[in-house]
Structure 1
Amino acid sequence: MFSKKKNTSKMDAEQRELYENARKRTLQKKRLFQHFIVFLGASILAIILNVVIGFKEEYQPLGYDWFVWIVLIWGFIFLIHFFNVLLVNTFMGKEWQAKQIEKLVAKQKEKIAKLQQQVEKDHPLPTKESKKSFPENKDPNDKFKPISPDNKPDQNYNH
């Protein structure tokens, strides 16, 4: 019950990740709702300023009252925010991202395996038979051996 060791298992990490994902999604939805409230309030305020109070009543870009343009542009921005939070994030969330990463890793592993096969085909490792073709005391990779009393230099060696 009161152990000093922390149990940091894989399940705890998964639960933390799920909690963090849920917290982020809740925050996204909360901000979307706040955006909607501010949009609604500002739209009503713009209509009241233009229609009721008569602020800049004569200003009509492209034949429409200025508040119409504010509501349309801000409404378009809100729709983008709405689609991003509720549609795009749902379809392209954490699960989608994890699947895409797994696919890319699998492709990379497949390419590495093909390259490995090609290298093994082009440059095979020496087999036991090829090692037997060389004398035991002579290494095919060593062209020069140090001179020792047991090992006399070749006759063709110039000093």
Structure 2
Amino acid sequence: MEKKYAEADRYYEAQKKVKQIREFYEHLTVFVLVNPIVIVVNLMTSPGYLWFVWCLMGWGVGVVLHGLKAFERMPFFDKKWEERKIQEILEKEKNKQTWE
């Protein structure tokens, strides 16, 4: 029974991972399709001030961070950090209960 549980757990984790990657690709696709429209609108309405650059940079940072998270390349807030934080919270709760 233990093996089936572990297998089901691994399948669930893989399913979550695929969903995260798919969501990143959807985000990237929208970024690539919408930004040319933003550029054209900017150039047609106010060619003297290129504000589309701010949109590209802001949204681009979001896309990059999303990609780093989806492909587990985040230099911060990774799985190790999550596990340390969980242990820290559990330890605080344990200490809190012993004082009561």
- TM-score in terms of structure 1 length: 0.46
Instruction: Tell me how far apart the structure 2 counterparts of residues 78 and 98 of structure 1 sit (CA, whole Å).
Output: 22
The root-mean-square deviation of aligned C-alpha atoms, in Å, is 2.7
The counterpart of 1:77, out of the listed 62, 72, 92, is 62
How big is the shift at 1:40?
A: 0.6
1:110-121 alignment runs, 5 A limit: none
Q: How much identity, in percent, do the aligned residues show?
A: 20
Unaligned runs of 5+ in 2: 92-100
Unaligned runs of 5+ in 1: 1-8, 109-159
Amino acid at match of 2:9: E
The counterpart of 1:68, out of the listed 53, 70, 80, is 53
Could you list the structure 1 runs, at least 4 aligned residues long, displaced by more than 3 angstroms after superposition.
Answer: 96-101
The counterpart of 1:57, out of the listed 46, 54, 72, is 46
Which of 1 and 2 has greater Rg? 1
- TM-score in terms of structure 2 length: 0.70
- Bigger relative contact order, structure 1 or 2, given CA contacts below 8 A and separation 6+? 2
Amino acid at match of 1:70: C
Contact kept? 1:35, 1:78, Cα under 8 Å: yes
The 3 A distance-change label for structure 1 pair 68 and 100 is closer
Secondary structure of the residue that 1:88 maps to in structure 2?
coil
Q: Which structure is higher in helix share?
A: 2
Instruction: Tell me how far apart the structure 2 counterparts of residues 19 and 12 of structure 1 sit (CA, whole Å).
Output: 10
**Structure 1 equivalent of residue 17 of structure 2:** 25
